[in-house]
Structures are given as C-alpha cells and as structure tokens.
Amino acid sequence: MAREPEAPMGVVSALVRSAFLVDATYEQVARKHQLTSQQGQLLCVLMGRSDEGYGMGELVRVLGLAKSSLTGLVDRSLRRGLVRRESDAADGRAVRVFLTEEGEKVAGEFYDETVAAVADLTTMLSVQDQARLTDLLGRLVLENHVPAVFEDETCLKAAEEAL
C-alpha cells in the first residue's frame, strides 16, 4: 500500500484521523469475534460491573446511544447469549443488564485483542512519546468528561494501587 505524501497536519486533522484509525482497529477486532463495534463497547462497559450490572438509563449515558438504539443492541446481545436482563431490586420497573458466562468469555477475549491491536498502533513512538501522548489524550478526555467505556490494564492497575 502506498503511503500518503507527508504533509503538515493540524490538531483537528490529527485527532479526526486518529479517531478513524482507532475505530477501524476496534471494528476489525470486533468482526473477528462476530460482534459489532457497539456490542464490543457494551461488553467492555459491562466487564467492569459484573456484580451490579448497569441500568438501561446508565448505559444510555455511558454509551451515548438513544434509548431505542440501546434496546436493540441489548436485544441482539441477549439473543446471542452475551448478556442477560434482570429486574432492578431497588425499582421493579427498571431493568439491569449483566454479562452472561459466555459474554464474560467473549468480552475478555475481545478486550485483550483490542488492547493489543490499539497498542500496536503506537509502537513506532518512543516510550517518552507514548507517555506524552497518554498525558495529552488523558487530559483531553477528562476535560471533556468522556465516560470510561474502555479501561486498559495500566489504568486498572493504577486504580487498584490507589485503593
């Protein structure tokens, strides 16, 4: 594949193109697991809350989906045996979504492969450049209140050490 000619790139172009790169990588891993990227996101979000699951309203906010879109996503994942719905103990009208045993297995495999594939995108950067990129992107997502829809092992280890 021919490389594009090198050209100066502004911050907007760099961010948009990197978002496309990460999205394409995420989508490629999802397809390997016969998932949509949205199902992959759902599984990764649910991974962190295996005991309490998520309410549908919470998932709407975290995933940034319309309620009808989330309902369809959960329905498709339910038919595949990846998630289960249970009545909310605190509010009988509400429903909570949990990973099934199969969902946990698929989520773990998808997560591990996604982490490796996205990490591979930065291998041409030095350790210092990777740290600088992490700092800058971390500040960007925190300042813009981006929900934690995907946590990598570095982040999870830091959270455990803080406890």
pLDDT in tens, 31-85: 999 999 999 999 999 997 778 888 998 899 888 889 989 999 999 999 999 999 9
- Domains in the chain: how many in total? 1
For residue 20, being part of any structural domain is answered with no
Mean pLDDT value across residues 1-15: 76
Domain assignment of residue 106, given as a range? 25-162
In angstroms, rounded to a whole number, what is the distance separating the alpha carbons of residues 108 and 110? 5
Q: What is the mean pLDDT of the chain?
A: 86
* Residue 19 domain flag: no
> pTM for this structure?
0.81
Q: How does residue 4 score in pLDDT terms, banded at 50, 70 and 90?
A: low
Asked, for residue 16, whether it belongs to a domain, the answer is: no
Is 130 domain-assigned? yes
In a domain, 104, yes or no: yes
Give the span between the Cα atoms of 125 and 146, in whole angstroms: 25
30 in any annotated domain: yes
List the CATH number of the domain containing 67: 1.10.10.10
Q: Is residue 98 part of a domain?
A: yes
Establish if 148 belongs to a structural domain: yes
How would you write 24-77 as a 3-class SS string? Answer: HHHHHHHHHCCCCHHHHHHHHHHHCCCCCCEEHHHHHHHHCCCHHHHHHHHHHH
Pair type for strands 95-99 and 83-87: antiparallel
